Amino acid sequence: MIKKAWVLALALFLALFLAACSGGDEESSSEADETGGDTEQSAEGSEGEDSGETAMAEDQSLTVNIKTEPPSLHPGKATDTTSGAVLYQTFEGLTRVDQEGEPQPAMASDIEVSDDKLTYTFTIRDGVTWSNGDPITAQDFADSWKWVLNPDSPDTDYAYQMYPIKGAEAAKTGEGSLDDVGITAEDDQTLVVELRNPTPYFLELTAFYTFFPFNQSTAENNDEWAAEAGDDYVSNGPFLMETWKHKNQIVLKKNPDYWDADNVNLESITMEMVDDENTAKNMYDQGELDWIGDPTDSVPLAAIPQMKQDGTLNISPMAGTYYYSFNTEKEPFTNANIRKAFALSLNREAIVKNITKGEEEPGMALVPSAVWEENSEGYFNDGDVEKAKEYLETGLEEMGLDELPTIKLSYNTDEGHAAIAQAAQDMWKENLGAEVELNNEEWNVYLDSMSEGNYQVGRMGWLADFLDPINFLEIFETVGGNNYTNWENDEYASLLEESRSETDEAARKELLREAEQLFMDEMPIAPVYFYSNVYAHKDYVKDVSVSNLGNIQYKWGYIAEH
């Protein structure tokens, strides 16, 4: 049950929202994740629009909002959904996830898998070229992947996605050689990849942006090739980057030399960087934006009820978790009982019912229910204030404290994140007696603060890169990368490692469940809710694919006559 004082605070807060919306102006709750984290989905696959027999308009231009400057448009360095939203259009890997959510041959025309599931042989398509005219070869893939695995390569936080490959982890940690990694270009068109263990989701990984190739000759001549649009931004996807006005706008144009260009209808995609939700919603209402909401933008919190009633809102579940990360190296969150107290004292049901309103599911686990259905119940009771107070008392005693110090709760600038943070602030004050200061920062600055450990509690989220629980669990296997908690545990890491060589699916799941139980006992994060995709688009926007992994692809999209 929600305490009366919190209800009154929430009512006042929402009243302010509604007042700000009078006259048609509405506000937007944002999901620019992050950690791959990175920015939502359903376990069934992608959601696209059925084109039927609708005729195409003469003008095939689409305008969307990505809210903020992409932190990196280098495939090997990117870790967030904003960057991914651009990279999935401008680059392509050996496979691409189709509109049904299945990986299909892309840069590879043929894929052979050995009987023991350890060797993958990819045949590069005939005649595929980079945007500068260079042929795309198997060596480009081998060199790009090994660049990510090179311990001297900077900002490669997603290198661990390649660890299913034989020798990859040893090379990245400096304990082995890049020469021993199981990636071999046998000739210009044949790439052979050897895995250390069978990995059923490997073809999904090869569709992920960390596995995209990049032009080696360009990169050798210019370390900053991915920092600007221009001749050096050489890519191989269905769209090319025509202009990049930093912190303002990116414009993509159709790539006429893309191997599947006949199935690409859009001629241009303008990506605005409008961080203010009211402004973006006004632009949508005035026809200046064709799409609003996930995965690259947000639907205004106050707009959601009316848009639901109008039938203009699309909502689907997503394999992702919104959570608060505890910095386990900053007191008082060095103590597991204190962390549990803060986690259990949140009323998630109130947050999703009264603030987000996007049919999100209260989250009491790390792995979302779209991946593990049983996690709808989770590992603790939502809003268990009495148990939280017990944990608090124990934690304070263990730390020799009489009361909690002032806590700083950080989040990246966004209406939705601010609203949830204010609710958490009130709940922690009322339920635990905690004084909580709020701190918001622009996305790129915020990521730096989190990675440098300059925070106590910080908002974060994770959208699945592939539909397997290990994609969530392995984030916290070691400190660094996307693990901002600074928590690690040898037993936890051992369970994950054992799961990687377990071929019996039931036994593997048991190992992963045991790992998640250990994680939730330690509580280095406070899960808040499992994501949903919430978006709207103009009726004339057809066949844009919104993945249950929180990705968006414009390859098949088009503008209908209107």
DSSP of 132-175, one letter per residue?
Answer: TSPBP-HHHHHHHHHHHH-TTSSS-TTGGGGTTBTTHHHHHTTS
Q: What is the mean pLDDT of residues 241-259?
A: 98
The identity of residue 526, as a single letter, is: A
Q: Report CA-CA distances (Å) from 478 to 162, 196, 481, 490, 493.
A: 15, 20, 8, 9, 8
The yes-or-no verdict on residue 425 having pLDDT over 90 is: yes
Q: Could you read off the pLDDT of 64-117 as tens digits, one per residue?
A: 999 999 999 999 999 998 999 999 999 999 999 999 889 999 999 999 999 999
The distance in angstroms from the start CA to the end CA of the chain is 49
Ordered by where they begin, the domains of the chain are: 61-290+538-559 (3.40.190.10), 315-533 (3.10.105.10)
For residue 276, name the pLDDT band (cuts at 50, 70, 90): confident
Query: Which of 256, 301, 263 lies closest to 281, judged by CA?
Result: 301
State how far the Cα of 247 lies from the Cα of 67, in Å rounded to an integer.
Answer: 9
Torsion sign across C-alpha atoms 528, 85, 369, 447:
negative
Q: What is the mean pLDDT of residues 121-129?
A: 98
Q: 386: which 2 tokens?
A: 């009495």
- Please give the angle made by the CA atoms of 460, 406 and 439, to the nearest 5 degrees: 40
- Which pLDDT score, from 0 to 100, does residue 277 have? 87
For residue 445, the SS3 value is helix
Q: What is the mean pLDDT of the chain?
A: 90
Are 180 and 190 in contact, with CB atoms under 8 Å apart?
A: no
For residue 20, name the pLDDT band (cuts at 50, 70, 90): very low
Sequential DSSP letters for 501-519: H---HHHHHHHHHHHHHHH
Q: What is the mean pLDDT of residues 528-547?
A: 94
Taking the model in full, what pTM does it have? 0.80
The yes-or-no verdict on residue 411 having pLDDT over 80 is: yes
Are 174 and 167 in contact, with CB atoms under 8 Å apart?
A: no
The identity of residue 260, as a single letter, is: D
Q: What is the mean pLDDT of residues 404-419?
A: 95
The yes-or-no verdict on residue 36 having pLDDT over 70 is: no
Q: 450: which 2 tokens?
A: 């989190």
The yes-or-no verdict on residue 227 having pLDDT over 70 is: yes
For residue 547, name the pLDDT band (cuts at 50, 70, 90): confident
The identity of residue 416, as a single letter, is: G
For residue 6, name the pLDDT band (cuts at 50, 70, 90): very low
Q: What is the mean pLDDT of residues 243-248?
A: 97
- Which pLDDT score, from 0 to 100, does residue 15 have? 36
Parallel/antiparallel/unpaired status of strands 183-187 and 95-97: unpaired
For residue 25, name the pLDDT band (cuts at 50, 70, 90): very low
For residue 52, name the pLDDT band (cuts at 50, 70, 90): low
Query: Which of 366, 84, 355, 58 lies closest to 212, judged by CA?
Result: 84
- pLDDT more than 70, % of the chain: 91
Are 501 and 197 in contact, with CB atoms under 8 Å apart?
A: yes
- pLDDT more than 90, % of the chain: 82
Q: Could you read off the pLDDT of 324-370 as tens digits, one per residue?
A: 999 999 999 999 999 999 999 999 999 999 999 999 999 999 999 99
- Which pLDDT score, from 0 to 100, does residue 526 have? 98
- Which pLDDT score, from 0 to 100, does residue 209 have? 97
State how far the Cα of 479 lies from the Cα of 452, in Å rounded to an integer.
Answer: 12
Q: Could you read off the pLDDT of 100-111 as tens digits, one per residue?
A: 889 999 999 999
Q: What are phi and psi of 76, to 5 degrees?
A: -80, -10
Q: Could you read off the pLDDT of 465-483 as tens digits, one per residue?
A: 888 999 999 999 999 888 9
Query: Which of 132, 136, 166, 168 lies closest to 150, judged by CA?
Result: 168
Cis previous bond, 368, omega within 30: no
